[in-house]
């Protein structure tokens, strides 16, 4: 199964997330349903079903105190003139959480992360951005660079299963670890 470890955004952020996404309605982007927008701490990839209990036990050893996080600002990967992902920025103790999650999973042979960890919540994927719409897109990005979604308490990480469907991904929480 396709699996990842994440921090969910609180439900009370859904309307603000949807409002930010609506600014891009004139584009044909693939938006993430606001109700499932999350911060991926570690993508695991395809994991054999029989490894899930071992991964869950390993995650129970995560050592990171709960912390406050600020979700604000819209950005893109890899760069504004060649955008593939539109995201919300997330400030907080995510580097410590990422390190602890990574340490707890060190005995497993997951693919290494190719990019430096950067806490973010994906809002949309961009397959195509017409050249004639690029200026409009960059103006909207600039307008949203300081948008404030809110402050949240990060007190748990979740091991999730992802099933990709034509309508978008479906997520199921397989294990939850309370931070302490």
Please list the active-site residues. 38, 120
Rounded CA separation 81/73 (Å): 18
Maximum pairwise Cα distance, the chain? 51
Would you give the distance in Å from CA 153 to the centre of its chain?
16
Rounded CA separation 139/80 (Å): 11
Helix (H) or strand (E) holding 116: none
Angle at 104 (CA atoms; ends 98, 105), nearest 5 degrees: 90
Rounded CA separation 125/76 (Å): 10
Rounded CA separation 4/29 (Å): 23
Using an 8 Å Cβ cutoff, are 159 and 178 in contact?
A: no
Using an 8 Å Cβ cutoff, are 103 and 96 in contact?
A: no
Rounded CA separation 67/29 (Å): 32
């Amino acid at each position: 199964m396709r699996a990842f470890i994440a921090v969910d955004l609180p439900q009370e952020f859904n309307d603000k997330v949807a409002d930010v996404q609506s600014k891009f309605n004139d584009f044909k982007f693939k938006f993430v349903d606001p109700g499932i927008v999350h911060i991926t701490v570690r993508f695991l990839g395809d994991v054999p079903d029989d490894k899930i209990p071992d991964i869950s036990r390993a995650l129970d050893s995560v050592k990171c105190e709960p912390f406050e996080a600020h979700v604000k600002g819209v950005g893109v990967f890899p760069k504004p003139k060649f955008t593939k992902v539109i995201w919300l920025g997330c400030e907080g103790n995510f580097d410590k959480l990422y390190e602890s999650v990574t340490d707890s999973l060190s005995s497993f042979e997951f693919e290494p992360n190719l990019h430096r960890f950067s806490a973010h919540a994906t809002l949309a994927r961009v397959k195509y951005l017409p050249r004639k719409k690029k200026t409009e897109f960059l103006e909207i990005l600039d307008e949203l660079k300081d948008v404030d979604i809110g402050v949240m308490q990060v007190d748990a990480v979740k091991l999730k299963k992802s099933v990709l469907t034509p309508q978008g991904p479906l997520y199921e929480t397989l294990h939850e670890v309370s931070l302490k």
